[in-house]
Structure 1
Amino acid sequence: MKKLFTNARLIDPENGTDRLGALLVSGGAIEEIHYGDVPEPDAQVVDCDGKCLAPGIVDIGVKVCEPGERHKESYRSAGLAAAAGGVTTMATRPDTLPAIDTPEALEFVARRANEAAPVNVLPMAALTKGREGREMTEIGFLMDAGAVAFTDCDHVVTDTKVFSRALTYARALGALVIAHPQEPGLSAGAAATSGKFASLRGLPAVSPMAERMGLDRDIALLEMTGARYHADQITTARALPALERARRNGLDITAGTSIHHLTLNELDVADYRTFFKVKPPLRPEADRQAVIAAVRDGLIDIISSMHTPQDEESKRLPFEEAASGAVALETLLPAALRLYHSDDLDLPTLFRAMALNPAKRLGLGCGRLAAGAPADLVLFDPDAPFVLDRWKLNSKSKNTPFDGARLQGKVRATYVAGTCVFEAP
């Protein structure tokens, strides 16, 4: 059945517009967009009541803990959390137990995801076997099995020869390599960013230069190999000039950042609150502002949740010993709307970074409001206030730094290929 969304604020990241209009969906795709007078087609009418209708979020870097740690997160719970958060496509990480490094493992998770999750799930595969950095995986076979990108996640490939060979092989096949820019020797064991705060709290810290050094090495290898490359998280001002130079030199490089590094800073850790322990560690406010400016200017392309479920046992520990990571599928949009309400970023810019750019980087047709594009949509009220209760999240793990936070912005409905997969009560 056709659906006509009327009286909607259409957030178009491709054209950078935020206008009242109507959108007609047919056969799982967007058929027409109207601004002004709307024809009377034979369609089910969805009155959006002046709320925002935007492309569904495409989230690169979601950890789903199947196989190995299903008690932390399953494809079903992650899919429900994604739908409730306006995420219509998840690109999932291979840092499972065991790692997703064979076509058989990839086909298993793809099958599980299609059975259990109400949203689109695109699995990524490990770049090296076991994510150990010693021997690259069968990139060609994994691509044939459906891998959309290759990454060892936060395990930096320290053997430069292995990494350069993997990049060369990936370039020959047109594969996207996602890396974690970090100098692993400097960052080993770090729980905070070096500076006054870390010193006062007595926390083992890492200099922001570790990110810059890791990125500089990767850029040099990109110049040598010409591969397609995405930096998963750029979080410091020190790394931005190197990224800008690489872009100016014509390298095929994009960069992302996490919603936590955009909306929180190192002071939020306060008295050792382990739900605020993420990787890389939260940065000073000056770095946060520099990263926001980079997103606004388009230097940083993608905002992602970096959804990392951890159970209570791994978080209820002294700060240095606690596991890193936070769940963020359901909090990604309301947290991002903090930047909208503070006038740092407008809605088209936010959805350019959360929907259009990640879709383009993965070669997908979604992430935009245009005739012929998949009808993956999120309807949300950007002004609806609420206090987050972590126990109401759909994720199995509840490790969110936003527990008890006052947020604005609620998802009213999420649509995948025109079918409603979530509707707020």
Structure 2
Amino acid sequence: MKRLLIKGGRVLDTQTKTDGVLDILVENGIIVKIEENIPSENTEVIDARNLWVLPGLVDMHAHLREPGFEYKETIESGTKAAAAGGFTTIACMPNTNPVIDNAFLVEYIFSKIQKEGFVKVKPIGAVSKDLKGEVLAEIGDMIQAGAVAFSDDGHPISDTSLMKKAMEYASMWDKVIISHCEEPTLSRGGFMNEGKKSTILGMQAIPEIAEDIMVARDLILAQYTGCKVHIAHVSTKGSVEMIRQAKAKGVRVTCEVTPHHFSLTQEVEDGWNAQTKVNPPLRTKEDVEAILKGLQDGTIDAIATDHAPHHRDEKILEYALAPSGISGLETALPLAMTNLVKNNILTPLQLVEKMSFHPAKILDLDVGTLQIGKCADITIINPDKKEIVDKNEFYSKGKNTPFHGMELYGKVFYTIVEGKIVKNIETIQRGE
């Protein structure tokens, strides 16, 4: 019998409202005791004094790039980056080549994870075939194969009739549709937020209403169909307010924000350094303030990385030609600790809610909590440890980040998947 004892850490769990210094005993991958002063005989012990013990972090929005774009990232390198960042479960988006729009490719992802994955991975299937927004993908078959949600992420579904059908179809299985909200005729060709800064830089821009219009449409469709809808990477004050109002009406809507959208504004953009180029673009100070309020009052349910690794040669292109995205798995927790917890925007339990419990709940996964009888997916961090971000030390193939050189709080000491240590302070290894 394999036994692991996590001793003397501050155990934080949203579902049970636990916040106290306790021991956790794990046997054969299952949590069997959570109490004070558990004896340590014949047990591997982790000394967690002065550390936080959290349910394994869950990222519901990551791009692993495989199949088709292995020069950017692979399942092996991406899940290793996830382990480094404290994530025990991640959901991968379908915009690969070929697109994950059928059961065979869902099964392919699972087979690769079994051989090469360092953490758990749950595939998200495409809403439309080949992400073209014209014909529904094989949603039912993909559910049977294990897809946990559906999204054309990176490609807004402009055909309202198709989106209505997708919601009606997904609601038959009570699955969630994850929407990339962007009105393409307003956003096409744009690189940054529309406003004074884009005018000064002479950059083609994307107005905030490009997001707001599609959020409004999808909220109306969600109310009409009764489908669970999740709004990805919310970035505008208008979107936050509309989602707040929709929730008050009982619409089955949830939403996420990325660390870069609560940490940065458009003021960091200079028109040439594409490390800050993301989609949706970085917005204004007022938008960030609305996002912080939405995180505090529960309007925003989850923090998701939108991990989007790119090859170095792509991100050194001129701003207009470089792809959008940040390699986010290894900086998400430190950014949340530094900008949210240390600034008293979120409590430690609220952080666990946004980065573990809620993402798991939205995707209907049986993770995201520390309870007796549950799988031992556990993240242990030092909340007060400060480190300087060094992109050259990323485990991800993607070194694209605007946070290089920043000093951030919150270092992951251990990532434990099903009772097996996949990351400790020094190394990362598969939990064989």
TM-score between the two structures when normalised by the length of structure 1? 0.97
Partner of 1:260: 260
Q: Which residue of 2 aligns with 1:180?
A: 180
Contact 1:375–1:416 (CA<8 Å) still a contact in 2? yes
Unaligned runs of 5+ in 2: 427-432
Structure 1 match to 2:60: 60
Equivalent in the alignment of 1:383: 384
Change (3 A) 1:205 1:271: closer
Q: 1:12 to 1:109 in 2, by over 3 A?
A: same
Aligned to 2:309: 309
The CA deviation string for residues 38-75 of structure 1, in whole angstroms up to 9 with x for no partner, is 45665332211221111111101110111111011001
Say if 1:219 and 1:246, in contact at 8 Å, map to a contact too.
Answer: yes
Counterpart-to-counterpart distance in 2, 1:16 and 1:246: 27
State the shift of 1:17 in Å. Answer: 4.7
Report 1:66-145 matches (<5 A): 66-145=66-145
Describe the SS at the equivalent of 1:177. strand
Q: After alignment, is 264-273 or 173-182 more displaced?
A: 264-273
- Residue type at the aligned position of 1:373: K
> Hey, what's the Cα distance between the residues in 2 that align with 1:49 and 1:40?
15
Measured against aligned partners, the alpha-carbon deviations of 1:289-317 in whole angstroms (never above 9, x if no partner) come to 21111111111101011000111222112
When normalised by structure 2's length, the TM-score is 0.95
2: CA distance between counterparts of 1:420 and 1:235?
35
Q: Name the counterpart of 1:25.
A: 26
Provide the C-alpha distance between the structure 2 equivalents of 1:219 and 1:53, rounded to a whole number of angstroms. Answer: 36
Please provide the CA RMSD for this pair.
1.4
**Does the CA contact (< 8 Å) of 1:16 and 1:349 recur in 2?**
no
Give yes or no for contact 1:81–1:330 (8 Å, CA) kept in 2: yes
Alignment of 1:372 onto 2:373: yes
User: Within 5 A, what are the aligned runs for 1:203-352?
Assistant: 203-270=203-270, 272-338=272-338, 339-352=340-353
Residues matched between the structures, number: 424
Deviations 1:342-382 (A, max 9, x none): 22222211110010001111111211122222211111111
Q: Give the whole-Å Cα distance in 1 for the aligned partners of 2:167 and 2:384.
A: 44
CA distance in 1, matches of 2:303, 2:241: 19
User: Which residue in 1 is equivalent to 2:429?
Assistant: none
Label 1:130 to 1:401 Cα distance change in 2 as closer, same or farther (>3 A).
same
Offset of 1:137 from its aligned partner? 0.9
Cα shift at 1:27: 2.4
Aligned partner of residue 172 in structure 2, secondary structure: helix
In the alignment, residue 71 of structure 1 is paired with which amino acid?
Y
CA shift, 1:16, in A, is 4.5
What's the offset of the Cα at 1:139? 0.9
Seen in structure 2, the aligned counterparts of structure 1 residues 195 and 138 have a Cα distance that, compared at 3 Å, is same
Shift of 1:97: 1.1
Cα distance in 2 between the residues matched to 1:174 and 1:99:
23
CA contact (8 A) 1:127 1:166 kept: yes
Paired position in structure 2 for 1:422: 423
Counterpart Cα distance in 2 of 1:337 and 1:266: 22
| Corresponding position: 1:358 with 2:359 | yes
Contact 1:59 1:91 in 2 (8 A): yes
Structure 1 unaligned blocks of 5 or more: none
**How big is the shift at 1:272?**
3.0
Q: Is the 1:106–1:147 contact (alpha carbons within 8 Å) kept by the matching residues of 2?
A: yes
State the distance in 2 between where 1:340 and 1:212 align.
28
Question: Is the CA contact (8 Å cut-off) linking 1:385 and 1:407 kept in structure 2?
Answer: yes
The Cα offsets for residues 263-282 of structure 1, whole Å up to 9 and x where unpaired, read as: 11111224532111111000
Aligned-partner Cα distance in 2 for 1:3–1:181: 44
Equivalent residue, structure 1, for 2:430: none
Distance in 2 separating the partners of 1:403 and 1:138:
41
Aligned amino acid, residue 55 of structure 2: P
- Residues 194-236 of structure 1: CA distance to partner in whole angstroms, max 9, x if unpaired? 1221111111112212211111111111122111111112111
